[in-house]
Every structure is written in structure tokens, then in C-alpha cells.
Amino acid sequence: MGESKQQVKLLQWFAVALFFQFIYLNVFKYANLLQDILVYGAYLKSLSFYKEKTPISKYMACAMILALMNTFFSSHLLFYWSTVLIQGIKLLIIMEFGKILLSIEQKHDIQGSITRVMKKYIAIAFAVIISWTLLMNVTNDWQMGLLFLGALFLLAVNIRLFLHVLALRKHVKNKSFVVTYLQK
Amino acid sequence: MNDLKKQMDQIDIPESLHQRSLQGIEQATKEQHKPLHWVPKVLTVAVALATGGFVAFMVGEQHVDNDRASALMSQLDHLSSPMYWILAILCVCIILYISRKKLKVGADQKKTIGVALVLILLIGNSTIFLQHQFIKPIVVPTVIEVTDSLQNALEVRYITNKDDHRYVKYLQAEDVLYDQTEQANLVNGFYYPLDTSQDLRYQNIRLAFFQLDLNTMKKVMASKTIYLVLNDGVKLPAPIHFTRETFIDENQIMNHSYSQSQHDSKQIISFTLQQDAVFDAFYVPATLEDKILLKEWRLNDQRYTASDFPFSVTKGQRLELTIQLKEAPLDINTSIGFSGPDGYLTIRVYSQAYFTSNLVKKVRENNG
């Protein structure tokens, strides 16, 4: 039952990555880079248990380049663009992981709710990204408000996905345990 | 069962018929793919057009700028324009990536629409953002009355783009540079300089502070053009208008006075006189006559207007003057009051224009 074990590991590291994403640190200089390294490291670790091809590592490279550009060139316009684009790329990564989660659920015949969770995640994250495209043309108070609200919404959907992934991991783990027990 | 199979094999299907059925299948698959393809294509074209407009806008702005300020060409802000180009090129790259990857696959329509929507919004918003940026900082027009005291404090405000990290270092007049007294620049996460006096949507209004003795002041006043020089050497023409009316101080009527500003740019000034006096006119420096208007004055709880000149005031009486400052991009530091045969009754009025987006537009137009 190596496959189940690998799936458990994959889910575990994905959960770790989501956990590191809970706090939106883009407001502080350099702190966001540390966060990115932690999150992408966990993603990579998680992906090492997945055999099929995904474009996730390409997305991560794009996001990392944008984050570095934002750190080294300080221009307001670049900040707004990278904020939106990085968040968009992060959403794409989560969507790819959603596909992986779906395949795991299907393999274990779980009447899972991952499609529902992902639908909500995508809708809310997309709304946040859209609202952040307006950041450059609003007053300071609105900027802070939009950033804060967006970060709050992202936190909420991340927590929801995190809980779902934990539940899925538990399920897969229990099932694999039962199977190994029966085999003995 | 076997019989049926034999029978089926025996049936001779004409070659032409077989080909036609193959064609039909091909056409059917084509038609099935068609609706999947046109939406991303249209969106890509829209994004490409928007990007083209964005680039054209950038080029256009540069040309306008070059024509308008040919004399100041060497001082143009070259720093930020490459950034716009990098962004535009990045945009084109993203579009190429989408059109190559996504259109061929054609399956992820929703994702393509989402990406296109975000890109269009980003480009549109950036265009608005860039339209509101200044080519270089602008100095707020200022009227200052110079006093005869040893040190004259000069406070000049200038408007910079929010991400412009340069600050005013010198005042230049007659090829002499005068240092700014103190300069505090704070970079703290978001760049927000300490000398900001007003925080607008796209710009900061910042303070430059100079202290000049009377001799230097006279030199500055005598020079034709005054510049504020930024720390990177860019000169900003400073529309500072100096006045020096020594006769006001010499003929000042003894009084106690204080002023208080009110909303909608009204100011109320109170004088308590220490001698009898007659006044026959409202006094403002000549350059400000159409910017500061006499609204009314109050004496013994009675209201008077400009038609009531001349009037007399006795010792110890309180005189309340109300003036109206017209909305203009103008900072004022000058004496205002009454004049008459006995002398002048004035007080120094400080007024800094409160900048709305409308007023910023006005400053920009005046500067162009």
C-alpha cells in the first residue's frame, strides 16, 4: 500500500504549505520572501510524492521571480502588478492541487466535497484578485481596507481548504491502515 | 451469431460511401471544437488591443512631454519610463504565453477568461494611474512677505508622485545654493516621507524649509528665477513671489491681534486697538488683490462691508475682520489688514492651499 502512504505524505505536506500561507505577509518587506520559500518548499516536498506531470513548479518559478522583482525594484506600479499577479499564480497552483486532490478522492471512492470547496475557494480568491486590481487608483484608507479584507477572505478560504485536506488525509490514512490489516 | 457476422462481411460497402462517412466524422469533430475556440481568441485580441493602447499611451505621453518642455529636456525624469516599457513588454509576453498554451488546448476556457479579465483590469487601472502621475515634481506657488528681522523662514511646498523618493535639497538663486535646514526622510515599509503635509491619492505634498538672513534674502529676491534643486540635481522652477513692504511695519498702529481660520477658507482676525485711528481701505499686497477678498468687519456688534469706508476706531475697541481666501493652488504668508491716514493695522496671515484632485489638475495645467 505504498500509494496510500505516498498520498498521505502528499496531503500532509500540502497541509503544511497551506498552513504557512495563513498569514498574508506581503505588506512587510523581505518577510514575504521568507514566507514564499517556506510555502514553495512545502509544495515541492508535497509534489515529490506525486508521479504525474503538473505545471505547478513552473508557476512557482514565475511567482518567485515576481516576488524578487518586487523586492529589488521599488516602484508603486510594480508593487500593484506583482501583488495581483502573484496572488493569481498562487490561485492557479491551488487549482492544480485541487485536481490532484480530486484524483485522490476518486481513487478512494470518497463522496468528497473537494469540488464544492474548490469552487468556493476559486470564486472568493478571484474576487479578491479582482478587487486588488483597483488598489492603484484608490485612497490610502481604501488601499489598506482592501488589502486587509482580501487577506481576511484568503485566510478564511485557506483555513477551509486546510481543514478539508486534513480530513482527507485522515480518511486515506485510516483506509490504508484497514487494508494493510486485512492483508496480514 | 456467426451467420450474421458472415453476412455483414459479405455486404460490400462502396469506397465512396466510406469516404463520405469519414468526412462526416471529421466535420462533426471540427464543429464540436469550434465553440471552444472563439471565446479565448476574442479575449486575447481584446487584451492585445488594450496593451497596444497602453503602449501607445506611454509613447504619446513622452512626445507631449518632449514638445512641451523642450527646454527642460535634459532634466526629464528618465528613471521611471523604462519601468513602463518593461511592464508593457511583460504584458505582451503574458499574452503570447496565453495564446500559445491555452488556445491550443482550448479546454480551460474559464481560466483563460479569468486571466484575461484580470489583465484587462490591470492594464486599464494602470493607464488611469499613469495619467495621474507627474512628469516631475511641481512647486506650489507661494507669496511670501519678507520681514526685516535677521532670519527669514521660508516654507515652500512641492508636490511629488508617491513613489518619488527624491527630496528638495537646495534653493537656487543667482547661481548660489542655499541648503535646506533639515531633511527627514523616512522609509518604512511603504515609503512615506516625514515632511509630508498632505497625502493625496497619487501625490504627496511635501515641505521644504529654508532659513535665510536678510542679505541672502535680498539676493534671492533680486534674482529673476528661483529653483528648488532635488537631491539628484533636477531643478524645479519655483514660482515664489516675494514682497517687502517696509512702510507697513514702520507705520503700524499699536494693537493686540490674533487670527483664527474657519471652514470654507474664511479667516477671522481680531484686533484690539491701543490708540484711536481712522481707516479708509482694506490692505492686501498687490499680487493678492484678487485672491483675498474682504468679506466684512464687525465693530460694536455691528457688521460693515466695503461700502462703509472710511470708519474710525477708538482706543480699546475690538475690531473683527473677516476675509475670504479664493480657492487657488497658492500658499500665502503675508500681512493683511486695514490702512488709513494714521498708518496700517495688519496681521500676518498664513494660508496653505488645501489640495483636492481638482486643484492638483489646475497646478498641473498651469505648470504645463
CA B278 vs. chain centroid, Å, equals 46
Tell whether B122 is within 8 A of chain A (Cβ): yes
pLDDT band at A28 (very low <50, low <70, confident <90, very high): low
Give yes or no for a contact between B111 and B169, defined as CB atoms under 8 angstroms apart.
Answer: no
> Mean pLDDT, chain B, as a whole number?
75
Q: Tell me, what's the pLDDT at B87?
A: 66
- Of B234, B114, B273, B83, the C-alpha closest to A130 is B114
Q: Tell me, what's the pLDDT at B1?
A: 56
A27 inside domain? yes
CA B168 vs. chain centroid, Å, equals 17
Tell whether B14 is within 8 A of chain A (Cβ): no
| b/e burial code for range A52-73 (CB count within 10 A of at least 16 → b) | eeeebeebbebbbebbeebeee
pLDDT band at A121 (very low <50, low <70, confident <90, very high): very high
Of B80, B118, B128, the CB nearest to A129: B118
CA-CA distance, A24 to A90, in Å (whole number)?
Answer: 12
Q: Tell me, what's the pLDDT at B280?
A: 84
> Could you write out the DSSP letters of every residue in B74-91?
GG---SSHHHHHHHHHHH
A125 inside domain? yes
User: Which residues of A are less than 8 Å from B189 in CB distance?
Assistant: 27-29
Domains of chain B by start residue, with CATH: 15-131 (no CATH), 152-244 (no CATH), 246-351 (2.60.40.10)
Q: Nearest CA of chain B to the CA of A139: how many Å?
A: 5
- Of B158, B204, B138, the C-alpha closest to B366 is B138
Q: Nearest CA of chain A to the CA of B124: how many Å?
A: 9
| b/e burial code for range B106-118 (CB count within 10 A of at least 16 → b) | beebebbebbbbb
pLDDT at A127 over 90: yes
A99 inside domain? no
Contact criterion met (CB < 8 Å) for B117 and A134: no
Q: What is the pLDDT of residues B223-259, one digit of tens each?
A: 888 888 888 888 888 888 888 777 777 777 777 777 7
Of A75, A129, A137, the CB nearest to B163: A75
Contact criterion met (CB < 8 Å) for B126 and A73: no
Q: Which residue segment(s) compose the domain that A141 sits in?
A: 2-91+111-168
Q: Tell me, what's the pLDDT at A181?
A: 53
CA-CA distance, B262 to B265, in Å (whole number)?
Answer: 6
CA-CA distance, A178 to A171, in Å (whole number)?
Answer: 11
Overall average pLDDT of the B6-20 stretch: 73
Provide the number of structural domains found in chain A. Answer: 1
User: Which residues of B are less than 8 Å from A140 in CB distance?
Assistant: 199, 201
CA dihedral sign of residues B232, B237, B240, B241: positive
- Higher local confidence (pLDDT), B38 or B243: B243
A183 inside domain? no
pLDDT band at B66 (very low <50, low <70, confident <90, very high): very low
- Beta bridge partners, B204, equal B160, B199
Mutate to test the interface with A, among B51, B84, B113, B190 (most CBs of A within 10 A): B190
Contact criterion met (CB < 8 Å) for A78 and B126: no
A153 inside domain? yes
Q: Nearest CA of chain A to the CA of B181: how many Å?
A: 28
A181 inside domain? no
Tell whether B121 is within 8 A of chain A (Cβ): yes
Mutate to test the interface with B, among A54, A58, A76, A135 (most CBs of B within 10 A): A76
Q: Give SS3 for B11.
A: coil
User: Which residues of B are less than 8 Å from A28 in CB distance?
Assistant: 189
pLDDT at B78 over 70: no
Contact criterion met (CB < 8 Å) for B87 and A77: yes
A135 inside domain? yes
Contact criterion met (CB < 8 Å) for A129 and B126: no
User: Which residues of A are less than 8 Å from B50 in CB distance?
Assistant: none
Angle (CA) B364-B367-B368 rounded to 5° is 85
Distances (CA, A) of B235 to A63, B183, B203: 39, 18, 19
CA-CA distance, B94 to B107, in Å (whole number)?
Answer: 18
pLDDT at B105 over 60: no
A124 inside domain? yes
pLDDT band at B362 (very low <50, low <70, confident <90, very high): confident
Contact criterion met (CB < 8 Å) for A77 and B83: yes
Q: Give SS3 for B338.
A: strand
Q: Residue B195 carries which DSSP code?
A: T
pLDDT band at B68 (very low <50, low <70, confident <90, very high): very low
The residues, ordered by sequence, that sit 6+ positions from B57 with a Cβ below 8 Å of its Cβ are B127, B130, B131
Look up the ipTM and state it: 0.84
Q: Tell me, what's the pLDDT at B361?
A: 83
Q: Tell me whether strands B226-230 and B235-237 are parallel, antiparallel or unpaired.
A: antiparallel
CA dihedral sign of residues B351, B357, B359, B363: positive
pLDDT at B190 over 60: no
A140 grid coordinates: 490610502
CA-CA distance, B119 to B113, in Å (whole number)?
Answer: 10
| b/e burial code for range A13-27 (CB count within 10 A of at least 16 → b) | bbbbbbbbbeebbbe
pLDDT at B188 over 60: no
Tell whether B111 is within 8 A of chain A (Cβ): yes
User: Which residues of A are less than 8 Å from B114 in CB distance?
Assistant: 126
Of A78, A134, A137, the CB nearest to B83: A78
pLDDT at B62 over 50: no
Overall average pLDDT of the A153-174 stretch: 89
Q: Tell me, what's the pLDDT at A129?
A: 92
